[in-house]
Structure 1
Amino acid sequence: MGSVTKRGKKWRLKVELGYDANGKRRSPATKTVEAKNMTEAKQLLAEFTTEVKSGTYLKPTKISFERFTKIWDEYYATEELESTTRQDYNYLLNADINVYFGSFYLEEISLFLLKKYFDEKKESGMSPSSLEKRHRVLRSVFKWAKKWRFIKEDNMVDIPTPRVPRVRRTVYNNSELEAFFATLLVNDKILLRHKVIICIFLSAALRKGELLGLDMEEDIFIDESYIIVRRSLQRTKESGYKLKQTKGGLERAVPIPAFVCELLAEYQKERLREKELCGESFKTLTDHNGIEVSLLFANADGKPFYPKTINQFWNRHIETYGFKKITIHEMRHTAATYLTDSIDMKTLQEFLGHQKFETTANTYSKSTDERLKKIGLKFNNLDPTKKSQM
């Protein structure tokens, strides 16, 4: 049942919603429209009634954007996002996005206002990668606002994703890699722990969190020459250290070369001695499956390394011995690049722990400088001037 009431130059539409389970009358659905006359107003009422009865009508909700982001964080981000990702998203919301949109009601944020925000950020000199991160946060917030029926339309769908230029990663080529290991393995000044960390970063191509999440006994198989990657160590200001599932939620077995196994076996014995000396004071962490983990790469008492510790000793080593500056994560890319000539992309995907084949193919199917040079040399064989000189 519906009714139309003229209010000045506009018309108020009202559709009754009946009674709830307790017999209490529900508040009617209302809408104010413009119409030329009663006939047109009644036609609009019929359309509004259909919208209400079909369940597509969304009652306007007066909630600020900032208030909704708190709901989004509690009911989506906390449960679904990695702790480090959630921390990054909330930093962008609190430091920037809420400053701009926070006082607006959620339903007031139009496509034009969103476009204006990104245009202003771009004009201020913000980098494409920073724009893309903000786009990602806003896409998530508005996606869930629509799913939970706080808004009818998700205007972020029509804001194009900022294009981030592909950054060419710096890696060691084969000769640089050989020189690096020649220095690393014979140098007695480098701690055994540091040697093992660097060797595993390269030969197993692990992410830093995966390396720091290894158990000193359960994940190490010296006789079979492999390790099992089951979890990843993460640290946030809010929750401290946590052992989470790996990126993509995949466990994988990773082969380890013989010379690394020798170092790893020596280091494992060292860690087991440290654990025994600590006794009950040795610290363990519980992973996402409730399993107690004694970290392989940690302080003597089992407490996790501060994440930047590895970056610091890595940078110190490459500076001390004069090697090309690359990040510790770029050692993972160095390993993958080193293997591209030897194994197929599907095997490389499994080795790296990529959830999607496209990630591996798009990143590592590009030719290296050395292979590009070989292409040029190959076509040199077609040079007719060289044949005439033979």
Structure 2
Amino acid sequence: MRKNEAIWIEKSKRWQIKVQKDGVRRAFYSPDPKKRGKAEAERKADRWLETGSRKEAARIGALAKEFAEYESAMYGTGNNRQHESIYRNWIAPKYEHKKAADMTQQDWKNIIKDAYTAGRSKKTLKNIRGYITSFCGYMEDCDVPIKYPRKLKIPDDAPEQEKNILQPSQLRTLFTEDTVTTRGKAGPCFHIYAFRFLAVSGYRPGEMCGLRKTDLKKTYLKFTNSINIYGELTTGKNERARRKLPRTTYINTLINQQLENLKAHGLEDCQWLFPDADGEPLNPKKLYKRWKKYADQHGLTCSPYELRHTFISVSKSAVPAELLKLVVGHSESMDTFGVYGHEVDGELKQAGKLIEGVFDGILKNEVG
């Protein structure tokens, strides 16, 4: 609480008051010679002092709401809803009314522990950890006093979620079967090149839906936007999502086939590379339904997102982890590999050649 008052400085003809907070000293002024000028200078000082006090007194619940608003504006509803669920289920019950400044390292660890004890999967525990680190990072950027959590370990024996991927024989089916049966009649599958693109690119479904023709560069595809299940255009899951994809022979072939496909359907002027059949942006929900119909008819047992897992699984034995992370925009284990900023010259090209070799081995040059 401030104890001093503003004083009139005759030489400069203004009221002045000096106050100190957290080792920082500031002066506030008012040129009004009357008593209201004195009060004005003191109000300015009080506001500055109170700002620090409010931050120190800020509670997790209020800060989580602020963080949610920020995330919603930056990344769209989808990412925000997942984080709101994490906050509501694992943080709010015990810590909603606790001051952020009073949160300890053990408090953050206990949140992970509670979810682990409740039998949540390793993936869920990683999502909770991701929320905690993002939340605390945002608070640090806002100068809210908070202890950034260190070493939030995920128990090794946490249950793994089972992931389905396409085996090599199923991948060959995907690249040889291009029809879908509707009302008993087989016909060309409009989204077949989108399905195949997911398998050879490692893109998330929403990222592929957000691809524009202007994202096609000479030697790579540039990620700019993603479309979530609410139809919102976002900047992607995280900063690592904004990346480049090398244009391998398979990707070039699929792009050319898709452009011809769009032209055949009168959509050559559509800005989207993989739109819906009406030329509108493809919603990942609709993509799932289209894929499910095709996959069920051809005995393929995975989801569109698991085509990304398929890409990673078949590539990981041939492509070094650092290069694979560069291509798929993976943030997992970032500290382990230390891959930040721009790729080293030649890395993207190297990754493309390695990936191309993997799919050569599986598809035996059946594409193209």
TM-score (norm 2): 0.60
CA contact (8 A) 2:72 2:79 kept: no
Q: Show the 5 A alignment for 1:352-371.
A: 352=328, 358=337
1:1-390 paired onto structure 2 within 5 Å: 23-24=16-17, 26=19, 61-74=56-69, 77=71, 84-111=78-105, 113-146=107-140, 148-151=142-145, 154=147, 156-157=149-150, 160-163=153-156, 169-184=163-178, 189-215=186-212, 217-219=213-215, 228-235=221-228, 237=230, 240-244=231-235, 247-257=240-250, 260=254, 263-271=257-265, 273-274=266-267, 294-323=271-300, 325-338=301-314, 352=328, 358=337
Distance 1:173 1:140 in 2: 35
Structure with bigger RCO (C-alpha 8 Å, 6+ apart):
2
Q: What is the DSSP-based 3-state SS (H/G/I as helix, E as strand, rest coil) of the residue aligned with 1:297?
A: coil
Is residue 210–residue 229 contact of structure 1 (8 Å, CA) maintained in 2?
Answer: no
Counterpart residue type for residue 56 of structure 2: T
User: Following TM superposition, by how much is the alpha carbon of 1:294 offset from its aligned partner in structure 2, in angstroms?
Assistant: 1.9
Deviations, residues 338-377 of structure 1 (Å, cap 9, x unaligned): 556777777656654668794899xx99xx9xx9xxxxxx
Does structure 2 conserve the Cα–Cα contact (< 8 Å) formed by 1:196 and 1:260?
Answer: yes
Check conservation: 2:105, 2:150, Cα contact below 8 A: no
What is the DSSP-based 3-state SS (H/G/I as helix, E as strand, rest coil) of the residue aligned with 2:247?
A: strand
Quick one: distance in 2 between partners of 1:167 and 1:229?
A: 31
- Give the SS at the match of 1:314: helix
The structure having more radius of gyration, on CA atoms, is 1
Cα root mean square deviation, aligned: 4.7
TM-fit CA distance, 1:242 = 0.9
Show CA shifts across 1:68-115 (max 9, x none): 2233345x5457657643342233224542233222333444455545
CA deviations 1:93-145 (Å, max 9, x no partner) are 24542233222333444455545544444333333332332233233334444
Structure 1: give runs of 5+ residues left out of the alignment. 1-13, 30-57, 277-292, 372-390
- CA distance in structure 1 between the aligned counterparts of 2:168 and 2:294, rounded to whole angstroms: 19
Gaps of 5+ in 2: 8-13, 23-51, 340-347, 362-368
- Compute the displacement of 1:254 (Å): 1.7
Per the TM alignment, residue 326 of structure 1 is displaced from its structure 2 partner at its CA by: 1.9
User: Residues 38-62 of structure 1, C-alpha deviation per residue, up to 9 Å, x if partnerless?
Assistant: xxxxxxxxxxxxxxxxxxxx85833
Overall identity of the aligned pairs, in %: 14
Separation in 1, partners of 2:255, 2:316: 23
What residue is the counterpart of 1:288 in the other structure? none
Q: Secondary structure of the equivalent of 2:235?
A: strand
Q: TM-score, normalised by structure 1?
A: 0.58
Q: Structure 1 residues 177, 149: closer, same or farther in 2, change over 3 A?
A: closer
**Kindly tell me: are residues 133 and 22 of structure 1, through their superposed partners in 2, closer, same or farther at Cα, counting changes over 3 Å?**
farther
